[in-house]
Chain A
Amino acid sequence: MNKLTACILSIALLSLPGCSSLLEVEPRQSIDTDQALATPEGIRAALFGTYSNLKAQALYGRDLLAIAEALGDNTVIINRAGGRFVNEGQNVINNHLGGWGTYYYTINQCNLILKALPESTLPEPEKDTIEGEVKFIRALMYFDLSRVYAYEPGVSVPALDKGAVPLLLEGIDSPEQVAYPVRNAAGEVYAQIYRDLQDATAKAPATGGPNRATAGAAHALLARVALYNQDWSTAVQSATAALASSVGRLAGNSEYVAAWRANGNPESIFEVLFNSRQESLGVNNSLQSAYTTIGSVSQASSLLASRPTPLPPATGWGSVVPTPTFLGLFTTGDVRRQLYQLGLNRSNNVIIECTKFLGKSGTIYMDNVPVLRVSEMYLIRAEAAARLNQLVGAAEDVNRIRTRAGLLALTELDSQTKVLTEIELQRRLELAFEGHRWFDLKRQGRDVVKATGNVSYGDTRTLAPLPNSEILANKNLEQNSGY
């Protein structure tokens, strides 16, 4: 009988491992990496996957705007959302911008698409346009990573500088490729961003914006990157090229407020699209909710007309609001002041809020996010020209923004200092709550002066902390000073 048992066991032993199909289970909601980019459809889907990351809360979904504003000096935090933004507003250490993983995830997606493109069966023209779009996105990611986590070239604090961010340009999709990179120098990262954007200006499509990357968007981004890099002539050239592209137009004075009430801003050169209801980040994580208690465009206008008693319920948190000082910078007749109005009651606070994001898509808690727009291009060109001492052109551009806002053109902009001061003021007013001010101060090595305590430029709180898990996982990576 033991023989029989042994016999059965040995037969089974021999036969089971041979039945490879016995243990075959194929995943259905994911696919094998090797097949993912093998077809034209696969590459197109991966491209959409890359764009969709821009909507992440940590990126343009909210934080690159709202947290940046909370860190900076335009805003004060009203604690009526259970402490949301309060620590960022007070610049408490470790409360900062983030998104490290999402940036590198997107970069890897770009790298994988770029690797797959040459082999792909896509039509040649489409290969080019996809390459252009992907390089634009990769450049945008490296630029945002750099300004969140590192010093801009030329304004580094040497004692604290641990380098910019690691540059990874090869797609990674197997365990063997896993890399433990060091932080590259800021110059190297910027050089790569330039290369990508130069390729993008050549290859990205001329049309299809602003929700997709275009050649115009690549020029516009290059203009901003050059400005941060104090490369004034490139900034002037690129801003000019961006303005010459057919994507986006300067909204006139009479349509300025309407432009901020429309789902898509006519000024947008590149604008992250939130398309369907399921893409809304909801009350807790949306830009609208961070800035205002008001629920919709129509509610905003009806509140302007009359404020009923009792007020309608607040639908957003409205935590990040303008300081009185900031509101005081607007002068009489400035159409942009109309984008700030008294909100609704939350936590016994009724206060003036920014209404640039109001659920304009028609879905509450969901707005498209302008990343690059025409007004910024004029202001970049003005600033870069002023730095190059081309004061006439600079004055002309900044006055274009002034007059459009309903202000008189300034005639006494006769020194570099005066021009730059006016440009800074107009940048602050024009681009407020779009996440610029914190980075504008940082790229110039300036202190952030605010009621809850100043953040001087030498303070380690200027840079965001790298995720602690990243420091633990990669011994080659140095944490920013002070964390």
Chain B
Amino acid sequence: MNRIVQIGLCLLTILAGHAQAQDETITGRVTSAEDGAALPGVNVSVKGTSSGTATGADGVYRLNVPTNATLVFSFIGLVSQEIAVGSRTAIDVQLASNVRLLSEAVIIGYGAAVSKKEATGATSNVRGDAITNLPLQSFDRAMQGRVAGVQISSANGTPGGAVSVRIRGVGSITAGTQPLYIVDGVQLNNRSDGGATANTNPLAFLNPNDIESIDILKDAATAAIYGAQAANGVVLITTKKGKAGRTQVGFNAYTGITEPIRTLAVMNTQEFISTRIEASSTNRPTIPAETIRGNVLAELGFNRDLSDAEIAALPTYDWQKEAYKTGIVQNYEVTAQGGTDKTTFYSSLSYNKQDASLINVDFRRVAARISLTNKINDRITTETSLNLSSITQRGPYGGAGGSLAFGAPQYSAPLILPFNPITNPDGSFYGLPASGVVMPGDLSQNVIANANFIKSSVVSNQAVGNLTVTYKINDHLFVRGLGGIDFRSLKGSFYGDPRLSDYFAIRGTLTNFLSDNLNYNTNVTLNFSKSLNKHSLSGLGGVEYRSDVNEGTSLNAQGFPSPDFTTANAAAEPSSVGGFWTGVKRAAVFGNLRYDYDKKYLFSAVLRYDGSSRFGANNQWGLFPSLSAKWLLSEEAFLKASPVVSDLGLRASVGSTGNDQIDNFASRRLYGLNGVYQGNSGTGPSLLGNSNLRWERNVTYNVGLDYGFFGGRIKGAVDVFRRISRDLLLDRSIPATNGFTNAQNNTTSFITENIGEVINEGIEWEVTTVNLDRGNRFRWETSFNVSAIRNEVTKLSEGVDVLPGDLTVRVGYPLFTNVAVPFAGVNPANGRPMWYDPNGNLTYLVRTADQRPLGHNDLSKYFGGLTNTFTMGGLELSVFFQYDYGRTAYNGQEFRLADNAGVLRNGLTYYRDNRWTTPGQITAVPRPAENRTELSGRVSSYQTAGRFYQDASYIRLKQLTLAYKLPKSLLESGKISGVRIYAQAINLLTWTEWTGFDPEFLSLGGNGNQGIVPTSRNYTFGIQVQL
């Protein structure tokens, strides 16, 4: 780094001075282009000289200038203007806010931006106002459906929970698939921690309303500047900055409700009892029906002589209704911004609370933010921003991301036998252990009591801040240094209440964990730009360093005197302690060179040399180049005058990016801890290592067309890409006989190697049209985007067609290929389920070895969104549809709900209604059978995965917003400058054939949608006031 500073200082010495002469006096007034108000403090200077002045309070300036001078009007937050004086003596100027400029510009990394026209890479942009006031806790979720080529899915419905963002498909098998996020230059650590307690999302630290703009670098042309972290794309977030002028204070509040999208139709008490009798009869053909009836009633806790009339009178309790409830959404925020020509600021404070549709699961965030820009002098500008947030998330028992815990309401509510009451007549919870009452059925825990008594939460305190210093060496050259910190501390706690059946015997349990992550990064860049005649050259070069350290401790204690004591010191017996430490360091040098001729032919080259401590000693450093070009056809003579074509640019790029999202020490040969014996800690081998480990390398080819017709009434882009992900970091499974698989300490036998290859190819189309424009009276705008992506695994280890340990990864198939033994329906003769063996013959036996691809996969074929915005005066209606097509997912939840009383859990009425009952009946639902199996012999369970794959395509009315801006005439009396009232609905309608709670989920941890907190529907109402 010292070297860079030295060079920078050297550069100071080559600054040139200028002589000048004074000839004429120019006067004028500078006003705002938006409201015509006078702009005080605007810097007015003569181009190429140091002479200048500033406007007064009335916006008026007076300046002596040489002949043929050019005046430069500049003000922070506004678009600078250069005006040749010519023979004039008075020049009035209107300056526009550069918010507009920002949205038209493309951020290309390390603070550099080019205009949309000049961008040679495939990038997409989401403007902050498109996602303002959505009742979503993190901006990643808010981007869903708004960007071509970017597929965003919530892992589950927890507010502020994990989100998967896949830019241009899935290009890795075992390494990470999430993009690099950069907020105001700070590279974030986006690992989701604390999963067992609550589902956290590190991006939730930022109030989405504080975002000015989100830029997504999709191809290597621009992303390669981030080298080894860019293979999954780069998302650059620019937060709001202050605008000079009068301090503006804004208040914004919205509130509303959140409710379950659907609940499942399960059997009532009478249906369950009769189905159970059928199931029991199937396996006991020789036992008289009366005896079976009596036995079933007895096993369900009833008198075995109950009459039919008495059975008919038994009540049914709706457990889902108690688990999935309407919750509250609240958001309040205050912003203040303003400043002078030297210093501007933007500050905000916000509070956000949202309940999940599952009881006692919620999200609360307090976030404060300040952004300061200070111009020390003509040469040095500092920018700093600091985001502080504290998030408290209450999580469900069993975790939000998929739970099979019997005590988890999100899993068990539909499965509990329906005649079990939820509460006793006195209002206390039914079936708690101390009462001596045991709930019949496999699920004998009162999950609603669990949800009420268990205290499970994670508090994430996060600070993301940076300081940027820009030193302008001359008009063509500046140095920019950035130091950033992303600090996060997590405090998790799980208190298992001693009143609950899981914790009654151990008299309560408490697990606390503390972990913090310190991620700091720093970079220095030298930026230049120079034009000569029709040639323009610009670019930057720089160095970067990043370090990320994560450590934590945990404790578990048991034996609490009463449920009122919930801290660790109250526990009779400490039970275990834990701790961990891990870290990674990265360093890089990089450069970008851009050249254009006459703004018609544009070229850009990027080179980055990247090092990461994660890789083997032999391969720590990697080189990532990219080349891109653009031909702006609309600047050519033959189109320049065209009344139809206003913008037409053809882009092409090729480049390479890397992925290092693997375990920090995957390349090392390690011995780890392995249990305790006789009070002594043991050790054992934990990792075989691979000193040749190197980067996953993505090569992306992209051809794109940016278009605009009729002066921008129709505009958009089409991109075709091919992304080849090579040297994929695959865990080459080695036989467990080598001694590295141990369920005890969670090690598995593998060597991480660079052996796989996956290809993603696709086409993306974005279009925005202004369908009707009657000025202020009526305007109708439509935005549409669609992406089609094809994914294929083209290579695994030598001679291996299927990834051992993960049958869904196979050469010649897409990733996430669904694999099972295909279900062949039910034998109409006897009601037994059948499968196809590998020869296509019907069989009753499901052999593990017969599992094979079913011809579909868990990746979407097409996805995108459609927004229609109608504006009429102050009234605005925005209708946003989001769709996802072609994904076939495993409905693991239904896997558990199709037993037809084969086990003592409730199930869907669908399966009861369609069960096989009579010979000759054609149905896909087998006859009810106890333990879902035939009585004896070599039999397979009826419950096999092959039966439960479903089309998870959906179209959803994701967002409906109606807003009204009060006319200025109503506001004149007070000091209020603007009032906006709005109402919103999220996930209002969904069209899908999926039969589970909701088709939007990610199968994390292999449980599919079993026991996840489902997505919810929200209605909110809000008001925004600007002073």
Is the interface on chain A under 10, 10 to 19, 20 to 34, or 35 or more residues? 35 or more
A469 CA / B585 CA spacing, docked (Å): 34
Known: A79-B903, A276-B676. A112 touches B685 (CB 8 A): yes
Verify if B565 is at the interface (C-beta below 8 Å from A).
Answer: no
Verify if A188 is at the interface (C-beta below 8 Å from B).
Answer: no
| CB neighbours of B434 from chain A (8 A) | 313
B941 touches A92 (CB 8 A): yes
A22 CA / B733 CA spacing, docked (Å): 32
Known: A33-B689, A93-B845, A364-B506. A8 touches B682 (CB 8 A): no
Partner among A25, A166, A364 whose Cβ is within 8 Å of the Cβ of B585: A25
B477 touches A28 (CB 8 A): no
Verify if A453 is at the interface (C-beta below 8 Å from B).
Answer: yes
Known: A30-B670, A472-B805. A52 touches B676 (CB 8 A): yes
**Contacts of A173-206 to chain B: CB distance below 8 A:** 173-175, 177-181
A313 touches B677 (CB 8 A): no
In whole Å, how far is B944's beta carbon from the nearest beta carbon of chain A?
Answer: 11
B 682-700 binary contact with A (CB < 8 Å = 1; else 0): 1111111110000000000
Known: A23-B585, A79-B903. A315 touches B938 (CB 8 A): no
A22 touches B936 (CB 8 A): no
Verify if A361 is at the interface (C-beta below 8 Å from B).
Answer: no
Chain B CB within 10 A, most for which of A6, A33, A86, A168: A33
A80 CA / B417 CA spacing, docked (Å): 13
A85 CA / B220 CA spacing, docked (Å): 53
A8 CA / B541 CA spacing, docked (Å): 8
Verify if A273 is at the interface (C-beta below 8 Å from B).
Answer: yes
- Main secondary structure, interface of B, reads mixed
B583 touches A25 (CB 8 A): yes
| CB neighbours of B444 from chain A (8 A) | 80, 346-347
| CB neighbours of A8 from chain B (8 A) | 3-4, 7, 526, 541
| CB neighbours of B804 from chain A (8 A) | 469-470, 472-473
In whole Å, how far is A50's beta carbon from the nearest beta carbon of chain B?
Answer: 7
B 121-145 binary contact with A (CB < 8 Å = 1; else 0): 0000000000000000000000000
Verify if A230 is at the interface (C-beta below 8 Å from B).
Answer: no
A231 CA / B299 CA spacing, docked (Å): 49
B676 touches A168 (CB 8 A): no
Verify if A12 is at the interface (C-beta below 8 Å from B).
Answer: yes
| CB neighbours of A49 from chain B (8 A) | 673-675, 677, 682-684
In whole Å, how far is A363's beta carbon from the nearest beta carbon of chain B?
Answer: 8
Partner among A86, A112, A295, A453 whose Cβ is within 8 Å of the Cβ of B505: A295
Chain B CB within 10 A, most for which of A7, A90, A181, A483: A90
A4 touches B736 (CB 8 A): no
B688 touches A105 (CB 8 A): no
| CB neighbours of B940 from chain A (8 A) | 92-94
Verify if B74 is at the interface (C-beta below 8 Å from A).
Answer: no
Partner among A11, A24, A36, A82 whose Cβ is within 8 Å of the Cβ of B406: A82
A104 touches B583 (CB 8 A): no
A101 touches B736 (CB 8 A): yes
B558 touches A1 (CB 8 A): no
Partner among B504, B581, B609 whose Cβ is within 8 Å of the Cβ of A315: B504
B676 touches A48 (CB 8 A): yes
| CB neighbours of A79 from chain B (8 A) | 442, 903-904, 931
Q: Name which of B89-97, B741-749, B988-996 contacts chain A.
A: B741-749
In whole Å, how far is A343's beta carbon from the nearest beta carbon of chain B?
Answer: 12
Identity of the chain B residue whose Cβ is nearest the Cβ of A111 in the assembled complex: B739
Known: A8-B7, A17-B621, A53-B675. A47 touches B579 (CB 8 A): no
Verify if A468 is at the interface (C-beta below 8 Å from B).
Answer: yes
| CB neighbours of B736 from chain A (8 A) | 100-101, 104-105, 467, 469-470, 473
Q: Name which of B15-23, B386-394, B661-669, B786-794 contacts chain A.
A: B661-669
**Contacts of B396-441 to chain A: CB distance below 8 A:** 406, 433-438, 440-441
A5 CA / B579 CA spacing, docked (Å): 46
A100 CA / B847 CA spacing, docked (Å): 19
Identity of the chain A residue whose Cβ is nearest the Cβ of B847 in the assembled complex: A483
Is the interface on chain B under 10, 10 to 19, 20 to 34, or 35 or more residues? 35 or more
In whole Å, how far is B754's beta carbon from the nearest beta carbon of chain A?
Answer: 13
In whole Å, how far is A283's beta carbon from the nearest beta carbon of chain B?
Answer: 7
B931 touches A25 (CB 8 A): no
Verify if B100 is at the interface (C-beta below 8 Å from A).
Answer: no
B438 touches A12 (CB 8 A): no
Identity of the chain A residue whose Cβ is nearest the Cβ of B752 in the assembled complex: A175
Known: A29-B579, A33-B670, A51-B682. A22 touches B545 (CB 8 A): yes
Verify if A132 is at the interface (C-beta below 8 Å from B).
Answer: no
Partner among B7, B576, B609, B738 whose Cβ is within 8 Å of the Cβ of A4: B7
Verify if B939 is at the interface (C-beta below 8 Å from A).
Answer: yes
Identity of the chain B residue whose Cβ is nearest the Cβ of A53 in the assembled complex: B744
In whole Å, how far is A87's beta carbon from the nearest beta carbon of chain B?
Answer: 7
| CB neighbours of B7 from chain A (8 A) | 4, 7-8, 11
| CB neighbours of B738 from chain A (8 A) | 104, 108, 168, 172, 177-179
A28 CA / B741 CA spacing, docked (Å): 21
B669 touches A24 (CB 8 A): no
Identity of the chain B residue whose Cβ is nearest the Cβ of A178 in the assembled complex: B734
Partner among A277, A454, A465 whose Cβ is within 8 Å of the Cβ of B575: A277
| CB neighbours of B299 from chain A (8 A) | 347-349
**Contacts of B452-486 to chain A: CB distance below 8 A:** 476-477
Verify if A392 is at the interface (C-beta below 8 Å from B).
Answer: no
**Contacts of A60-88 to chain B: CB distance below 8 A:** 79-83, 86-87
Verify if B737 is at the interface (C-beta below 8 Å from A).
Answer: yes
A347 touches B904 (CB 8 A): yes
**Contacts of A159-176 to chain B: CB distance below 8 A:** 166, 168, 171-175
Known: A276-B676, A311-B436. A108 touches B849 (CB 8 A): no
Known: A46-B683, A93-B938. A34 touches B669 (CB 8 A): yes
A472 CA / B808 CA spacing, docked (Å): 13
A168 touches B737 (CB 8 A): yes
B681 touches A22 (CB 8 A): no
Known: A30-B671, A175-B690, A483-B847. A51 touches B733 (CB 8 A): no
Verify if A477 is at the interface (C-beta below 8 Å from B).
Answer: yes
| CB neighbours of A483 from chain B (8 A) | 847-849
**Contacts of A34-61 to chain B: CB distance below 8 A:** 34-37, 42, 44-53, 55-58
A474 touches B737 (CB 8 A): yes
| CB neighbours of B845 from chain A (8 A) | 93
A145 CA / B732 CA spacing, docked (Å): 25
Partner among A30, A181, A277 whose Cβ is within 8 Å of the Cβ of B573: A277
B686 touches A48 (CB 8 A): no
A454 CA / B739 CA spacing, docked (Å): 36
In whole Å, how far is B723's beta carbon from the nearest beta carbon of chain A?
Answer: 27
Chain A CB within 10 A, most for which of B587, B688, B744, B748: B744
B936 touches A31 (CB 8 A): no
A421 CA / B687 CA spacing, docked (Å): 50
**Contacts of A437-483 to chain B: CB distance below 8 A:** 452-454, 459-461, 465, 467-474, 477, 479, 482-483
A273 touches B678 (CB 8 A): yes
B3 touches A90 (CB 8 A): no
A92 touches B681 (CB 8 A): no
B476 touches A108 (CB 8 A): no
A166 CA / B556 CA spacing, docked (Å): 40
Known: A12-B589, A46-B682. A53 touches B674 (CB 8 A): yes
| CB neighbours of B298 from chain A (8 A) | 348
B737 touches A36 (CB 8 A): no
Contact sample, A vs B, 17 pairs, CB 8 Å cutoff: A12-B541, A16-B588, A22-B611, A24-B585, A29-B580, A30-B671, A79-B903, A90-B939, A93-B940, A109-B739, A172-B740, A179-B737, A312-B436, A348-B440, A465-B848, A468-B849, A473-B733
The 9 closest A-B pairs by CB, nearest first: A108-B739, A453-B936, A49-B682, A310-B436, A52-B675, A101-B741, A36-B671, A313-B433, A278-B576
| Known A87-B931, A108-B685, A278-B676; further 14 A-B contacts with Cβ < 8 A | A8-B526, A33-B671, A46-B683, A48-B675, A82-B442, A86-B931, A101-B736, A178-B735, A178-B751, A275-B676, A276-B676, A312-B436, A348-B300, A473-B736
